[in-house]
Structure 1
Amino acid sequence: MTKSKFTIFFLFLFFIILKESYSFEYSGIDGDYQVKIIDNKTIKVEERPEPLSVRVSAPQKTSPSPLIIFSHGSRCHVDGSNDLTNFWSSHGYTVIQPLHLDGYLESRKKSHSREEISFHRLRDMSLVLDKIKLLLSNEKEILNIIDSSKIIAAGHSYGALVAQVMGGAKIFSQGDSRKKISSLDKRFRTIIAISPPGYMKNFVDSDSAKSISIPMLVTTGTNDIIPPFMPTWNIHTVSFHDAPKGEKFLAVINGADHWFGGLLCRETDNQEQNKEMETLKAITLAFLDYTLDNNKMAMQFLNQLNKQKKGKGIYDFQMK
């Protein structure tokens, strides 16, 4: 083999290896870390109608771990998104999931008002950060690895809106619909919004997302339809289009419904959408790695999606 042919062969082999590595890293496959789970860690909090209960998933590692606070959807189980949150933890992210006042709780004896739910959903996100030492007082190995400089607001459905508000979005008060409120918590560095709601009278309008200045990923699916409130899937994309430019991403997953066939929120009558969930996992992980660590492989993955627009489970992908 001549020197020139050897060089060409070597470059070809290097490209194949690089491509395979890049494909594996962002294919929705669980990471190498073992995951520790803590269910129903509960503390009493002043001026909250119920004690604050959380689920924690954390990688068993000693190096710093970014922290994701995940807000569930309306009437969802606190552990209804475990498939996704455990995946994040297997890749090095610690996840804390608070149970909101509208979350499923069999022992709950009274329902709460819309105003109470909205107020405490937002408060819960900051409360977890405020009380994290108490919540993890018996879990020092988890507390000690959390990187407080890399905190992510994430959520699904109503929880996606909560994550956006923590990152700067402004919504109408549920106590006074004439008043817009901000619950911006500058400790959050980035946002993952899975199927956020569109415009809602006296709640969310076209100006709500314009004040989001931190990186944000918005996702939805071509079957993400909830009549009569969300009659078309593209309603879930408006916050991406309304938000200002600057590390904003939109991923529309081909075939995905609002609950990924029961893999998000709670069980449904539909078949579990494992392939669609793998696509969501891959995109969210790449987004996190890129926006928090400027990971070059993650950047290449996202740029390639933006270039292709469609394919590999994606109906549409945009960035601005």
Structure 2
Amino acid sequence: MSLLPPAAPILSVTPIVLPAPSRGEDIQVRVTAPLTGQQLPVILFSHGHGSSLYGYGPLTDFWAAHGFAVVQVTHLDSRMLRLPSDDPRRPEIWRSRVEDLKHILDHLPQIEDAVPGLGGRLDHGRVAAAGHSWGGHTVGVLLGARVLDGQGQPGEDLSDARIQAGVLLAPPGRGGADLSPTTARRFPFLNVSFADMRTPALVVAGDHETSSMSLRGADWRADPYRLSPGAKSLLTITGAAISLGGIPGYEAAETTDESPERVALIQQVTWAYLRSALHPQDSSWSTVRSTLAAAPHSLARLEDKSEHPFQKERF
């Protein structure tokens, strides 16, 4: 799209290791950023179940090439760490994931200094979080979603005010009776309330998913948009399943709905959303919406329920 700045050369440094004694494993971080530029806004990225800091290049490289510093983490559920099935940390991995991203924010100056040529170039006051699948759940909790206890009452508020906006990519929806019995038994933390998820967010979901996790259809993954208050937007990708055309990686085996066109659309729409969310005076989000609304091909539909003056559009 014409509003995008030219793609810049990027650098990627990994692993940056943050000590985390109480976690049982040090936190491994990957930073991807443009070689030049100052006051770079920061995106924290939370991967899907089993993945790692080495995934999601189609998004993280794109965001970095267009002006963001992206910080990825390997959560405890990653296949890289090979946690035994009976590891006592497993029931609380959902919480550990949230704490991983908070730990990164706490140590952002050290991470910045560990990357050659990056020191002094990050804007620590402009931070967003993005996550795919289970990572969408993680980001939702950081934005204010609450895991419900056994009596259906909201648990601890783990939101973080340092995060100004979020992008939830194919996130899990509402729990309770909407979960399959197997999912409810294995992942009770998916029983969440979005009633307090007030931080602005863009939810991206496919309309062609048949998930064994929920008894509902593909619209289940739009729940964080529909059931949360405040400024929210929903991008529904036509024909896409959970991998949204291939965002987990280039030629990734888990991509069942490969579509470079869908990935390109998601790259540009998420970039514009994050750019304007972190720079409120920036018009990228408004311009992208108008551009896509006028496009001849129907790749997705966009909805808003927010304080900003946008109406429902199809493109």
- The code of the aligned residue for 2:69 comes to T
Equivalent position of 1:15 in the other structure: none
TM-fit CA distance, 1:80: 1.7
Report the AA paired with residue 298 of structure 1.
W
Q: Secondary structure of 2:30's partner?
A: strand
Larger radius of gyration: 1
Closer/same/farther in 2, CA of residues 312 and 90 from structure 1, 3 Å limit: farther
Paired residue secondary structure (1:129) = helix
Match of 2:283 among 296, 299, 306: 296
Partner of 1:186: 161
Contact 2:16 2:114 in 1 (8 A): no
Equivalence for 2:3: 25
> TM-score, normalising length from structure 1?
0.81
Q: What letter is aligned with 1:60?
A: L
Give matches, 1:228-243, under 5 Å.
228-229=213-214, 231-243=216-228
Shift of residue 136 of structure 1?
Answer: 3.6
User: Are 1:169 and 2:145 matched, yes or no?
Assistant: yes
Query: What amino acid sits opposite 1:268 in the alignment?
Result: E
- Residue type at the aligned position of 1:317: L
Q: In structure 1, how many angstroms separate the alpha carbons of the residues matched to 2:168 and 2:255?
A: 24
Q: CA 1:278 to 1:261, structure 2 compared with 1: closer, same or farther past 3 Å?
A: closer
* TM-fit CA distance, 1:55: 1.3
Q: Deviations over 1:100-136 (max 9, x none)?
A: 000120x535344442311210100100011223334
Q: Which residue of 2 aligns with 1:318?
A: 303
CA distance in 2, matches of 1:170, 1:32: 38
Select which of 123, 140, 144 maps to 1:147.
123
Contact 2:203 2:233 in 1 (8 A): yes
Measured after TM superposition, the shift of residue 235 of structure 1 is: 0.6
Is the CA contact (8 Å cut-off) linking 2:243 and 2:255 kept in structure 1? no
Q: How many angstroms does 1:195 deviate by?
A: 0.6
SS in 2 for 1:115: helix
Name the residue aligned to 1:225: 210
Which runs of structure 1 show a deviation greater than 4 angstroms over 4 or more consecutive aligned residues?
A: 176-179
Mind listing any 5+ residue stretches in structure 2 that lack a counterpart?
177-187, 306-315
Residues 244 and 319 of structure 1: CA distance in aligned 2, closer, same or farther (over 3 Å): same
Query: In structure 1, what is the Cα distance between the partners aligned to 2:169 and 2:226?
Result: 15
- Tell me if the contact between 1:254 and 1:315 (Cα under 8 Å) persists in the aligned partners: yes
Aligned counterpart, 1:94: 69
Residue 188 (structure 2) pairs with residue 214 (structure 1): no
Describe the shift of the 1:33–1:236 C-alpha distance in structure 2 as closer, same or farther (beyond 3 A). Answer: same
Are 1:129 and 2:105 counterparts?
A: yes
Matched, 1:244 2:229: yes
In structure 1, stretches of 5+ residues that fail to align are 1-22
1:29-61 residue CA offsets vs partner (Å, 9 max, x unmatched):
x94211101122223212011110011101111
| Contact 1:263/1:272, CA 8 A, preserved across alignment | no
Q: Does 1:108 align with 2:89?
A: no
**Identity of matched residues, %:** 24
1-structure distance, mates of 2:296, 2:169: 20
Count of equivalent residues: 289
| Alignment-mate amino acid for residue 62 of structure 2 | F
Tell me if structure 1 keeps the 8 A contact 2:112–2:122: no
Contact 2:201 2:233 in 1 (8 A): yes
The alignment's C-alpha RMSD in Å is 2.6
Name the structure 2 match of 1:257. Answer: 241
SS at match of 1:127: helix
